[in-house]
Structure 1
Protein backbone atom coordinates (compact mmCIF):
# COMPACT_ATOMS: atom_id res chain seq x y z
CA UNK A 1 0.00 0.00 0.00
CA UNK A 2 2.80 2.41 0.92
CA UNK A 3 4.57 1.66 -2.37
CA UNK A 4 1.37 2.41 -4.29
CA UNK A 5 1.02 5.78 -2.52
CA UNK A 6 4.69 6.58 -3.21
CA UNK A 7 4.28 5.59 -6.88
CA UNK A 8 1.21 7.79 -7.37
CA UNK A 9 2.98 10.74 -5.70
CA UNK A 10 6.04 10.15 -7.90
CA UNK A 11 3.94 10.04 -11.07
CA UNK A 12 2.19 13.31 -10.21
CA UNK A 13 5.48 15.01 -9.28
CA UNK A 14 7.13 13.89 -12.53
CA UNK A 15 4.22 15.19 -14.62
CA UNK A 16 4.39 18.54 -12.81
CA UNK A 17 8.16 18.66 -13.32
CA UNK A 18 7.86 18.16 -17.07
CA UNK A 19 5.05 20.70 -17.48
CA UNK A 20 6.56 23.46 -15.31
CA UNK A 21 10.28 22.62 -15.46
CA UNK A 22 10.53 22.74 -11.66
CA UNK A 23 8.92 21.31 -8.56
CA UNK A 24 9.64 17.57 -8.71
CA UNK A 25 11.02 17.16 -5.18
CA UNK A 26 8.85 19.98 -3.86
CA UNK A 27 5.75 18.02 -4.84
CA UNK A 28 7.23 14.68 -3.76
CA UNK A 29 9.12 15.21 -0.50
CA UNK A 30 6.02 15.19 1.73
CA UNK A 31 4.77 11.68 0.90
CA UNK A 32 8.28 10.20 0.76
CA UNK A 33 9.56 11.53 4.10
CA UNK A 34 6.34 10.46 5.80
CA UNK A 35 6.48 6.97 4.28
CA UNK A 36 10.22 6.31 4.49
CA UNK A 37 11.48 8.81 7.09
CA UNK A 38 13.42 12.05 6.66
CA UNK A 39 16.80 10.59 5.67
CA UNK A 40 15.63 7.68 3.52
CA UNK A 41 12.74 9.64 1.99
CA UNK A 42 15.02 12.46 0.90
CA UNK A 43 17.63 10.00 -0.38
CA UNK A 44 14.99 8.34 -2.56
CA UNK A 45 13.68 11.74 -3.71
CA UNK A 46 17.15 12.85 -4.80
CA UNK A 47 17.70 9.58 -6.71
CA UNK A 48 14.34 9.99 -8.44
CA UNK A 49 15.21 13.63 -9.23
CA UNK A 50 18.28 12.30 -11.03
CA UNK A 51 16.10 9.93 -13.07
CA UNK A 52 13.63 12.75 -13.86
CA UNK A 53 16.35 15.12 -15.05
CA UNK A 54 18.13 12.50 -17.17
CA UNK A 55 14.82 11.65 -18.83
CA UNK A 56 14.00 15.30 -19.53
CA UNK A 57 17.42 16.40 -20.82
CA UNK A 58 17.10 14.90 -24.33
CA UNK A 59 13.78 16.69 -24.73
CA UNK A 60 15.27 20.13 -24.00
CA UNK A 61 18.84 19.65 -25.27
CA UNK A 62 18.74 22.44 -27.87
CA UNK A 63 17.86 25.11 -25.32
CA UNK A 64 20.57 24.37 -22.72
CA UNK A 65 22.89 27.29 -21.92
CA UNK A 66 26.14 25.45 -21.23
CA UNK A 67 28.08 28.56 -20.17
CA UNK A 68 25.59 29.37 -17.43
CA UNK A 69 25.50 25.70 -16.50
CA UNK A 70 29.24 25.69 -15.75
CA UNK A 71 29.14 28.83 -13.59
CA UNK A 72 26.21 27.48 -11.57
CA UNK A 73 27.04 23.78 -11.38
CA UNK A 74 30.67 23.99 -10.25
CA UNK A 75 30.01 25.88 -6.98
CA UNK A 76 26.89 23.75 -6.54
CA UNK A 77 28.88 20.53 -6.61
CA UNK A 78 31.41 22.06 -4.20
CA UNK A 79 28.65 22.61 -1.62
CA UNK A 80 27.03 19.17 -1.90
CA UNK A 81 29.42 17.48 0.61
CA UNK A 82 28.56 20.15 3.22
CA UNK A 83 24.86 19.49 2.77
CA UNK A 84 25.40 15.75 3.07
CA UNK A 85 27.40 16.29 6.26
CA UNK A 86 24.53 18.29 7.79
CA UNK A 87 22.16 15.41 7.01
CA UNK A 88 24.44 12.97 8.84
CA UNK A 89 24.70 15.28 11.87
CA UNK A 90 20.97 15.89 12.40
CA UNK A 91 18.60 13.40 13.98
CA UNK A 92 15.24 12.52 12.40
CA UNK A 93 13.23 15.22 14.16
CA UNK A 94 15.54 18.12 13.33
CA UNK A 95 15.98 16.92 9.76
CA UNK A 96 12.20 16.86 9.28
CA UNK A 97 12.01 20.41 10.61
CA UNK A 98 14.87 21.54 8.35
CA UNK A 99 13.22 19.98 5.29
CA UNK A 100 9.90 21.62 6.17
CA UNK A 101 11.54 25.04 6.60
CA UNK A 102 13.40 24.69 3.30
CA UNK A 103 10.11 23.77 1.65
CA UNK A 104 8.44 26.87 3.10
CA UNK A 105 11.36 28.96 1.84
CA UNK A 106 11.01 27.38 -1.59
CA UNK A 107 7.32 28.24 -1.65
CA UNK A 108 7.74 31.86 -0.54
CA UNK A 109 11.12 32.82 -2.06
CA UNK A 110 9.50 34.07 -5.25
CA UNK A 111 7.61 36.69 -3.23
CA UNK A 112 10.86 38.25 -1.94
CA UNK A 113 12.01 40.76 -4.63
CA UNK A 114 15.30 41.50 -2.88
CA UNK A 115 16.29 37.84 -3.19
CA UNK A 116 16.52 38.10 -6.97
CA UNK A 117 18.79 41.15 -6.69
CA UNK A 118 21.30 39.06 -4.72
CA UNK A 119 21.81 36.63 -7.61
CA UNK A 120 22.71 38.87 -10.55
CA UNK A 121 25.56 38.36 -13.02
CA UNK A 122 28.34 35.79 -12.87
CA UNK A 123 28.81 36.22 -9.13
CA UNK A 124 25.08 35.76 -8.65
CA UNK A 125 25.14 32.62 -10.77
CA UNK A 126 27.90 31.15 -8.61
CA UNK A 127 26.13 32.14 -5.38
CA UNK A 128 22.84 30.65 -6.55
CA UNK A 129 24.67 27.47 -7.55
CA UNK A 130 26.35 27.17 -4.16
CA UNK A 131 23.04 27.65 -2.34
CA UNK A 132 21.32 25.18 -4.66
CA UNK A 133 24.03 22.55 -4.07
CA UNK A 134 23.69 22.77 -0.29
CA UNK A 135 19.89 22.68 -0.42
CA UNK A 136 19.85 19.80 -2.90
CA UNK A 137 22.06 17.61 -0.72
CA UNK A 138 20.04 18.32 2.43
CA UNK A 139 16.52 18.19 1.03
CA UNK A 140 16.50 18.00 -2.78
CA UNK A 141 14.84 21.44 -2.82
CA UNK A 142 17.36 23.35 -4.91
CA UNK A 143 15.02 25.34 -7.16
CA UNK A 144 14.54 28.66 -5.28
CA UNK A 145 18.07 30.15 -5.59
CA UNK A 146 18.21 29.09 -9.25
CA UNK A 147 14.81 30.65 -9.94
CA UNK A 148 15.90 33.82 -8.11
CA UNK A 149 18.98 34.06 -10.35
CA UNK A 150 16.82 33.54 -13.43
CA UNK A 151 14.52 36.40 -12.42
CA UNK A 152 17.29 38.75 -11.30
CA UNK A 153 19.40 38.11 -14.40
CA UNK A 154 16.39 38.11 -16.77
CA UNK A 155 17.25 34.63 -17.98
CA UNK A 156 15.04 33.47 -20.84
CA UNK A 157 12.44 31.08 -19.40
CA UNK A 158 12.86 28.43 -22.09
CA UNK A 159 16.65 28.34 -21.71
CA UNK A 160 16.39 28.39 -17.91
CA UNK A 161 13.93 25.48 -17.81
CA UNK A 162 16.21 23.45 -20.07
CA UNK A 163 19.47 24.30 -18.31
CA UNK A 164 18.23 23.52 -14.80
CA UNK A 165 17.53 19.95 -15.88
CA UNK A 166 21.27 19.46 -16.36
CA UNK A 167 22.03 21.31 -13.13
CA UNK A 168 19.55 19.13 -11.23
CA UNK A 169 21.09 16.02 -12.78
CA UNK A 170 24.62 16.99 -11.69
CA UNK A 171 23.54 18.02 -8.19
CA UNK A 172 21.45 14.87 -7.82
CA UNK A 173 24.37 12.67 -8.91
CA UNK A 174 26.67 14.42 -6.45
CA UNK A 175 24.09 14.05 -3.69
CA UNK A 176 23.60 10.35 -4.43
CA UNK A 177 27.37 9.81 -4.28
CA UNK A 178 27.80 11.69 -0.98
CA UNK A 179 24.60 10.50 0.71
CA UNK A 180 24.67 6.94 -0.63
CA UNK A 181 21.95 4.89 -2.28
CA UNK A 182 18.59 4.20 -0.59
CA UNK A 183 18.42 1.17 1.68
CA UNK A 184 14.81 0.50 0.68
CA UNK A 185 14.05 -2.70 -1.24
CA UNK A 186 15.71 -2.49 -4.67
CA UNK A 187 12.56 -3.61 -6.46
CA UNK A 188 10.50 -0.86 -4.81
CA UNK A 189 13.07 1.80 -5.72
CA UNK A 190 13.22 0.47 -9.29
CA UNK A 191 9.44 0.74 -9.57
CA UNK A 192 9.61 4.37 -8.42
CA UNK A 193 12.36 5.12 -10.96
CA UNK A 194 10.28 3.60 -13.76
CA UNK A 195 7.28 5.58 -12.55
CA UNK A 196 9.38 8.75 -12.67
CA UNK A 197 10.39 8.12 -16.29
CA UNK A 198 6.79 7.37 -17.27
CA UNK A 199 5.65 10.55 -15.51
CA UNK A 200 8.14 12.69 -17.45
CA UNK A 201 6.96 11.14 -20.72
CA UNK A 202 3.32 11.61 -19.73
CA UNK A 203 4.06 15.21 -18.76
CA UNK A 204 5.49 15.86 -22.22
CA UNK A 205 2.22 14.72 -23.75
CA UNK A 206 0.02 16.50 -21.23
CA UNK A 207 1.95 19.77 -21.54
CA UNK A 208 0.07 20.38 -24.78
CA UNK A 209 -3.25 20.36 -22.94
CA UNK A 210 -2.54 21.29 -19.30
CA UNK A 211 -1.52 24.93 -18.70
CA UNK A 212 1.66 25.33 -16.65
CA UNK A 213 -0.22 27.61 -14.24
CA UNK A 214 -2.60 24.79 -13.25
CA UNK A 215 0.26 22.33 -12.73
CA UNK A 216 2.10 24.94 -10.66
CA UNK A 217 -0.93 25.52 -8.43
CA UNK A 218 -1.27 21.78 -7.85
CA UNK A 219 2.40 21.57 -6.92
CA UNK A 220 2.07 24.47 -4.46
CA UNK A 221 -0.92 22.91 -2.69
CA UNK A 222 0.80 19.52 -2.43
CA UNK A 223 4.05 21.09 -1.21
CA UNK A 224 2.37 23.21 1.49
CA UNK A 225 0.53 20.15 2.79
CA UNK A 226 3.74 18.11 2.81
CA UNK A 227 5.72 20.85 4.54
CA UNK A 228 3.12 21.37 7.27
CA UNK A 229 2.83 17.64 7.96
CA UNK A 230 6.63 17.22 8.01
CA UNK A 231 6.98 20.15 10.43
CA UNK A 232 4.31 18.76 12.76
CA UNK A 233 5.89 15.31 12.60
CA UNK A 234 9.31 16.75 13.47
CA UNK A 235 7.93 18.75 16.41
CA UNK A 236 6.08 15.70 17.75
CA UNK A 237 9.29 13.64 17.55
CA UNK A 238 11.15 16.35 19.47
CA UNK A 239 8.46 16.17 22.14
CA UNK A 240 8.84 12.39 22.31
CA UNK A 241 5.46 11.77 20.73
CA UNK A 242 5.14 9.39 17.76
Structure 2
Protein backbone atom coordinates (compact mmCIF):
# COMPACT_ATOMS: atom_id res chain seq x y z
CA UNK A 1 0.00 0.00 0.00
CA UNK A 2 2.83 2.41 0.94
CA UNK A 3 4.54 1.71 -2.34
CA UNK A 4 1.39 2.54 -4.27
CA UNK A 5 1.06 5.83 -2.38
CA UNK A 6 4.69 6.72 -3.15
CA UNK A 7 4.13 5.96 -6.81
CA UNK A 8 1.01 8.11 -6.86
CA UNK A 9 2.86 10.91 -5.05
CA UNK A 10 5.70 10.82 -7.60
CA UNK A 11 3.23 10.80 -10.45
CA UNK A 12 1.40 13.77 -8.91
CA UNK A 13 4.65 15.69 -8.51
CA UNK A 14 5.50 14.96 -12.15
CA UNK A 15 2.07 16.17 -13.22
CA UNK A 16 2.50 19.36 -11.15
CA UNK A 17 5.90 20.04 -12.76
CA UNK A 18 4.43 19.42 -16.20
CA UNK A 19 1.49 21.68 -15.36
CA UNK A 20 3.94 24.39 -14.29
CA UNK A 21 5.83 24.11 -17.58
CA UNK A 22 2.58 24.19 -19.53
CA UNK A 23 1.43 27.22 -17.55
CA UNK A 24 4.68 29.03 -18.30
CA UNK A 25 4.38 28.16 -21.96
CA UNK A 26 0.76 29.34 -21.99
CA UNK A 27 1.79 32.68 -20.49
CA UNK A 28 4.50 33.05 -23.14
CA UNK A 29 1.99 32.27 -25.85
CA UNK A 30 -0.41 34.83 -24.41
CA UNK A 31 2.34 37.47 -24.43
CA UNK A 32 3.28 36.59 -28.02
CA UNK A 33 -0.38 36.73 -29.01
CA UNK A 34 -0.73 40.18 -27.46
CA UNK A 35 2.45 41.37 -29.22
CA UNK A 36 1.20 40.11 -32.58
CA UNK A 37 -2.16 41.80 -32.00
CA UNK A 38 -0.39 45.09 -31.32
CA UNK A 39 1.71 44.71 -34.48
CA UNK A 40 -1.37 43.81 -36.49
CA UNK A 41 -3.18 46.89 -35.19
CA UNK A 42 -0.17 49.06 -36.04
CA UNK A 43 -0.18 47.68 -39.59
CA UNK A 44 -3.91 48.30 -39.87
CA UNK A 45 -3.45 51.86 -38.59
CA UNK A 46 -0.64 52.43 -41.12
CA UNK A 47 -2.67 51.02 -43.99
CA UNK A 48 -5.55 53.25 -43.02
CA UNK A 49 -3.27 56.29 -42.88
CA UNK A 50 -1.19 55.48 -46.00
CA UNK A 51 -3.68 56.78 -48.61
CA UNK A 52 -4.02 60.06 -46.70
CA UNK A 53 -0.24 60.39 -46.42
CA UNK A 54 0.14 59.60 -50.13
CA UNK A 55 -2.44 62.22 -51.02
CA UNK A 56 -0.67 64.78 -48.86
CA UNK A 57 2.72 63.98 -50.36
CA UNK A 58 1.26 64.38 -53.84
CA UNK A 59 -0.25 67.72 -52.81
CA UNK A 60 3.13 68.90 -51.52
CA UNK A 61 4.83 67.62 -54.67
CA UNK A 62 2.35 69.51 -56.83
CA UNK A 63 2.99 72.71 -54.90
CA UNK A 64 6.77 72.39 -55.15
CA UNK A 65 6.65 71.17 -58.73
CA UNK A 66 4.21 73.94 -59.62
CA UNK A 67 6.59 76.62 -58.32
CA UNK A 68 9.45 75.10 -60.32
CA UNK A 69 7.39 74.85 -63.50
CA UNK A 70 6.17 78.43 -63.17
CA UNK A 71 9.79 79.56 -63.24
CA UNK A 72 10.49 77.28 -66.22
CA UNK A 73 7.44 78.65 -68.04
CA UNK A 74 8.58 82.22 -67.43
CA UNK A 75 12.10 81.53 -68.73
CA UNK A 76 10.87 79.69 -71.83
CA UNK A 77 8.26 82.35 -72.55
CA UNK A 78 10.96 85.02 -72.38
CA UNK A 79 13.13 83.05 -74.80
CA UNK A 80 10.28 82.59 -77.30
CA UNK A 81 9.31 86.25 -77.21
CA UNK A 82 12.92 87.39 -77.41
CA UNK A 83 13.66 85.30 -80.50
CA UNK A 84 10.36 85.26 -82.37
CA UNK A 85 9.34 88.77 -81.40
CA UNK A 86 5.76 87.58 -80.84
CA UNK A 87 3.43 87.76 -77.85
CA UNK A 88 3.32 84.06 -77.04
CA UNK A 89 3.30 82.23 -73.74
CA UNK A 90 4.63 78.82 -72.81
CA UNK A 91 2.36 76.92 -70.42
CA UNK A 92 2.71 73.49 -68.88
CA UNK A 93 -0.05 71.03 -68.16
CA UNK A 94 1.28 69.02 -65.25
CA UNK A 95 0.15 66.38 -62.81
CA UNK A 96 1.59 64.01 -60.25
CA UNK A 97 0.60 60.35 -60.29
CA UNK A 98 2.04 57.82 -57.87
CA UNK A 99 4.97 60.11 -57.12
CA UNK A 100 5.85 60.66 -60.79
CA UNK A 101 5.68 63.96 -62.65
CA UNK A 102 3.98 64.27 -66.01
CA UNK A 103 4.41 67.44 -68.11
CA UNK A 104 2.91 68.55 -71.39
CA UNK A 105 4.17 71.86 -72.77
CA UNK A 106 1.93 74.02 -74.93
CA UNK A 107 2.12 77.42 -76.58
CA UNK A 108 -0.64 79.96 -76.06
CA UNK A 109 -1.34 82.90 -78.34
CA UNK A 110 -4.44 85.07 -78.19
CA UNK A 111 -6.34 82.44 -76.24
CA UNK A 112 -5.51 79.59 -78.63
CA UNK A 113 -3.01 76.77 -78.27
CA UNK A 114 -0.28 75.72 -80.65
CA UNK A 115 1.57 72.43 -80.96
CA UNK A 116 5.16 73.09 -79.92
CA UNK A 117 6.48 70.43 -82.32
CA UNK A 118 5.08 72.13 -85.41
CA UNK A 119 4.64 75.72 -84.23
CA UNK A 120 6.29 78.31 -86.49
CA UNK A 121 7.57 75.55 -88.74
CA UNK A 122 9.47 73.90 -85.90
CA UNK A 123 11.05 77.10 -84.55
CA UNK A 124 9.19 76.81 -81.26
CA UNK A 125 10.50 73.29 -80.74
CA UNK A 126 14.04 74.51 -81.47
CA UNK A 127 13.80 77.20 -78.83
CA UNK A 128 12.12 75.14 -76.12
CA UNK A 129 14.40 72.13 -76.45
CA UNK A 130 17.47 74.34 -75.99
CA UNK A 131 15.82 76.18 -73.13
CA UNK A 132 15.05 72.95 -71.29
CA UNK A 133 18.60 71.71 -71.70
CA UNK A 134 20.02 74.98 -70.41
CA UNK A 135 17.73 74.79 -67.38
CA UNK A 136 18.75 71.18 -66.78
CA UNK A 137 22.46 71.95 -66.99
CA UNK A 138 22.07 74.87 -64.62
CA UNK A 139 20.85 72.46 -61.90
CA UNK A 140 23.95 70.25 -62.02
CA UNK A 141 26.66 70.46 -59.41
CA UNK A 142 29.66 72.12 -61.13
CA UNK A 143 31.97 70.13 -58.84
CA UNK A 144 30.93 66.86 -60.49
CA UNK A 145 29.62 67.97 -63.91
CA UNK A 146 31.26 70.17 -66.49
CA UNK A 147 28.78 72.73 -67.75
CA UNK A 148 29.33 72.08 -71.43
CA UNK A 149 26.57 72.00 -74.03
CA UNK A 150 26.78 70.94 -77.68
CA UNK A 151 24.06 72.31 -79.99
CA UNK A 152 24.24 70.50 -83.30
CA UNK A 153 22.13 72.36 -85.88
CA UNK A 154 19.70 73.33 -83.15
CA UNK A 155 18.59 76.24 -85.34
CA UNK A 156 17.67 74.01 -88.29
CA UNK A 157 14.01 75.11 -88.31
CA UNK A 158 14.60 78.76 -87.54
CA UNK A 159 14.14 81.34 -90.25
CA UNK A 160 17.52 82.87 -91.16
CA UNK A 161 16.56 86.29 -89.81
CA UNK A 162 15.92 84.76 -86.36
CA UNK A 163 19.24 82.96 -85.99
CA UNK A 164 21.14 86.00 -84.76
CA UNK A 165 18.62 86.58 -81.94
CA UNK A 166 18.78 82.89 -81.09
CA UNK A 167 22.58 82.94 -80.89
CA UNK A 168 22.56 86.16 -78.86
CA UNK A 169 20.20 84.70 -76.27
CA UNK A 170 22.19 81.46 -75.96
CA UNK A 171 25.41 83.43 -75.52
CA UNK A 172 23.80 85.63 -72.86
CA UNK A 173 22.39 82.69 -70.90
CA UNK A 174 25.59 80.68 -71.25
CA UNK A 175 27.64 83.56 -69.87
CA UNK A 176 25.22 84.16 -67.01
CA UNK A 177 25.13 80.48 -66.02
CA UNK A 178 28.81 79.81 -66.61
CA UNK A 179 28.13 77.40 -69.48
CA UNK A 180 30.48 76.59 -72.32
CA UNK A 181 28.50 76.12 -75.53
CA UNK A 182 29.65 74.59 -78.80
CA UNK A 183 27.18 75.79 -81.43
CA UNK A 184 27.18 74.01 -84.81
CA UNK A 185 25.14 75.54 -87.61
CA UNK A 186 24.66 75.58 -91.39
CA UNK A 187 23.42 79.16 -91.32
CA UNK A 188 25.57 82.00 -92.55
CA UNK A 189 28.38 82.88 -90.14
CA UNK A 190 27.29 86.54 -90.14
CA UNK A 191 24.56 85.59 -87.66
CA UNK A 192 27.14 84.70 -85.02
CA UNK A 193 29.49 87.66 -85.14
CA UNK A 194 29.22 89.68 -81.97
CA UNK A 195 27.68 86.80 -80.02
CA UNK A 196 30.24 83.98 -80.08
CA UNK A 197 33.69 84.32 -78.54
CA UNK A 198 35.09 82.18 -81.35
CA UNK A 199 33.67 81.58 -84.81
CA UNK A 200 35.08 78.80 -86.99
CA UNK A 201 34.11 78.04 -90.55
CA UNK A 202 34.51 74.50 -91.85
CA UNK A 203 34.64 73.97 -95.59
CA UNK A 204 35.58 70.99 -97.77
CA UNK A 205 38.96 71.00 -99.45
CA UNK A 206 41.15 68.71 -101.49
CA UNK A 207 42.99 67.52 -98.42
CA UNK A 208 39.92 67.20 -96.21
CA UNK A 209 38.01 69.69 -94.15
CA UNK A 210 39.52 73.15 -93.88
CA UNK A 211 39.00 75.11 -90.67
CA UNK A 212 39.18 78.90 -90.77
CA UNK A 213 39.09 81.01 -87.61
CA UNK A 214 36.90 83.97 -88.53
CA UNK A 215 36.86 85.63 -85.14
CA UNK A 216 38.51 84.87 -81.83
CA UNK A 217 37.79 87.18 -78.91
CA UNK A 218 39.78 84.93 -76.59
CA UNK A 219 42.91 84.75 -78.72
CA UNK A 220 45.04 85.57 -75.72
CA UNK A 221 43.72 82.52 -73.89
CA UNK A 222 44.42 78.88 -74.73
CA UNK A 223 41.61 76.91 -76.37
CA UNK A 224 39.74 74.81 -73.84
More strand by share: 2
Q: TM-score, normalised by structure 1?
A: 0.22
Q: TM-score, normalised by structure 2?
A: 0.24
Return the index of the structure with the highest Cα Rg: 2
More helix by share: 1
